[in-house]
Amino acid sequence: MVLYRILAGFALLFCQTGWGQTEQNNMPPLPLTGERDTITVYLSLLPDGRYVPTSALPDVACIGAMPRWMKKEKAKWSRLRNAVYVTYPYALSASRVISDINQQLNHVHSEKQRKDIIKSKEKELKQAFGDKVTNLSVYQGKVLMKLINRETGVNCYEILKEYKGGTNARFWQTIAFFFGGNLKQPYQPLADDAEMETIVKEVERMYWPYGS
């Protein structure tokens, strides 16, 4: 048993020595150092066989004044983000109410009963969000219309036309036009509204991390 260990030790030593010699023979010779070369540094071997001194420098942060165009983009993004955070809960509530109305109207054939259901839900929305929605800015109102479209799949003009009639929808479309809005505006998450979609998903991850 002892003899086996001695032979194994010699074999291991022989293999290590042979491997080291082979590797050294394939490596180019180290560069010569002079009497003034007193600082030890790492060396990197280039593909052409040359050695070059190598060192790792700490990261440096370069901070400068923000360009004007970047300030404008940041302000634009912050305004949109704030509007989405303010109006998205209203869009979700509107979507739930519209879904509830549709379910109730599925089995209603009386026009009077239909109007009563819509009026009841309209009153419910006004009591819950009337004051808050009327305090929105024009810009926030435009964002809200986009988000309602996102949540319901239908633009605000079609919603008004369905529940309040074509005359009512055209009236509010005219009002929106004078304020630079459009009740028929689409929601395009892969085009014009890509930034808004990104912010909405941010809100969803924050408040509903495991799904709504």
Q: Decide: residue 79, CB within 10 A, 0-12 exposed, 13-18 middle, 19+ buried.
A: middle
Full pLDDT tens readout for the chain, 212 residues: 444 444 344 344 444 444 444 445 567 777 777 777 777 778 888 888 888 888 888 888 888 888 899 999 999 999 999 999 999 988 888 888 888 888 887 877 788 888 888 888 777 777 766 667 778 888 998 999 999 999 888 888 888 888 778 888 888 788 888 778 888 888 999 999 999 999 999 998 887 655 55
Token pair listed for 40? 């030890």
pLDDT at 15: 43
CB 115 within 8 A of CB 165: no
Radius of gyration (C-alpha) of the chain in whole angstroms: 36
Domain boundaries along the sequence of the chain: 70-207
